[in-house]
Amino acid sequence: MIDKQLSDELGDRVAITIDGIDGQVHHDTFRDATTAEEAQIGRIVTVAPAPSHRPADRNIMEAARGIGTYRPSVHRAVAKSDNVPVPGGDYDAYVDAHVRRLEALRRAGIVERLGSDVWSIPHDFEARAAAYDASRGPQNTVRVLSAYDLDRQITSDGATWLDRQILSGDGSGIALIGFGAEVHRAMDQRADELIQRGYARRVDDATLRVRANLIGTLTWREVERVGRELATERGLTFKTLKDGDSVRGKLLGPAQLASGRFAMIDDGFNFSLVPWRPVIEREVGREVFGVMRGNDISWQLGRARGLGIGM
C-alpha cells in the first residue's frame, strides 16, 4: 500500500494505491471507508471481493439492539472502556467511520438521523444494508497480508509473508520490475537470513531446501520471545500453550507480530499469546476461555461458552 486518502467531501469513500507484485500500480476506490480501515501505508495487502455483511453494520446493530437507536457518543465511550482495538487507538476516527456509513445509508433511506448524536436503526438494518450494497454491484475489500514492510520481514525471527512466498516456490506471478523486483530481492535476502539462522540450506548453489514446518517453527520462536518480554513487563510468568491446553483469563487486546496478530491473555499469574480472531474483538477487557486445537484456538464466548464452538 503506497497511498490512501478519502476521495469525496462526505468522507465515505476511500481511494487506495497499491504497488503490485505484477510490476503495475493499481488504484481502487471503495464506497465505504471502513472497508480499508486496517490497511495502512507500507503494509502488504491484497484486494478481494468483499463479504456480504460488513463489520461496521454489525457494530451499529449491536449498539442499537433493544433500543432501536445508535448514539456515536455512547459507541465511542463503550469502545474506549472495553479497550476495543482500533487502528492507531483513534476512537474518534473509529466512530466517525461508522457515522460515515450511516450517512451513506441515510441517503439510501435505510436509516434516519434524529439529531446530532442519535440515529434511528430499523430492526432489519443489517439485511437492508447488505441488500443495498448488493444492488450497487460487486465490491472489493482490502485484507492485510503483513503489517511489516519488506525490510522488517527480511530480518524478522517470525514467520513472514516472504517466507510463505519462498515456500510456495512459484514466483511466476512476481514481475522483475517495480515492486515485483523489490520482492524478488527481498526473497533472496530472506533466504540468506534463513540459511544464516540454520533454517535452510542451498543445494548445488541453486535450490533452497528449508527445514520441515518452517512456518510453525518461526511462529513458535517469535511467540516465545515476544510473550516472555510482554510477560516480564507485566510481572507475570509466560505460559506456553500446546494442543489441547485451555486458557482462561482477561483478554488484554491484540499484539502484532511478524507471524500475525495474537491475543494477549492475563489470568492473574500467567501471560499467554494465542491466535487472534476477529470474533473476540468485542471481548477485550473481559474474561475469555479457549482451547488450543493444533496451531489454532477454539473460543467459547458469551452464550456459546461451554458449547465448544470453534471461532
Tell me: do 132 and 251 sit in the same domain. no
Tell me: do 130 and 207 sit in the same domain. no
Range of the domain at 285: 225-304
CB 59 within 8 Å of CB 76: no
Give Cβ neighbours of residue 285 (< 8 Å, ≥ 6 apart).
Answer: 81, 82, 83, 250, 251, 252
Taking the C-alpha atoms of residue 203 and residue 183, their distance in angstroms, rounded to an integer, is 22
User: Based on the structure, what is the number of domains in the chain?
Assistant: 3
Tell me: do 229 and 253 sit in the same domain. yes
Q: Tell me which of 123, 143, 163 is where a domain ends.
A: 143
Identify the residue whose cell numbers are 535452510: 200
Tell me: do 135 and 162 sit in the same domain. no
Tell me: do 36 and 119 sit in the same domain. yes
Three-state SS for 29?
strand
Tell me: do 57 and 165 sit in the same domain. no
Give Cβ neighbours of residue 157 (< 8 Å, ≥ 6 apart).
Answer: 197, 218, 221, 222, 225, 258
Cα atoms in the 13 Å half-sphere on the side-chain side of 44 = 21
Q: Tell me which of 85, 118, 143 is where a domain ends.
A: 143
Q: Per residue of the chain (311 residues), what is the pLDDT tens digit?
A: 999 887 665 556 788 899 999 999 999 887 766 667 777 888 999 987 766 678 889 999 999 988 999 999 999 999 888 878 776 677 888 898 899 889 989 999 999 999 889 999 999 999 999 888 888 766 777 888 999 999 999 999 999 999 999 998 877 789 999 999 999 999 999 999 999 999 999 988 778 999 999 999 999 999 999 999 999 999 999 999 988 899 999 999 999 999 999 999 999 999 999 998 877 887 889 999 999 887 788 887 653 344 333 33
Tell me: do 257 and 186 sit in the same domain. no
Q: Tell me which of 211, 239, 260 is where a domain ends.
A: 211
Q: Is residue 25 part of a domain?
A: yes
pTM, two decimals, is 0.68
Tell me: do 12 and 138 sit in the same domain. yes
Burial 54-75 (b: 16+ CB within 10 A, else e): bebbebbbebbeeeebbbbebb
CA 174 to chain centre: 24
Q: Which contacts of 12-19 are long-range, i.e. CB under 8 A and separated by 24 or more positions?
A: 12/100, 12/101, 12/103, 12/104, 16/142, 18/45, 18/47, 19/178, 19/179
Identify the residue whose cell numbers are 439510501: 108
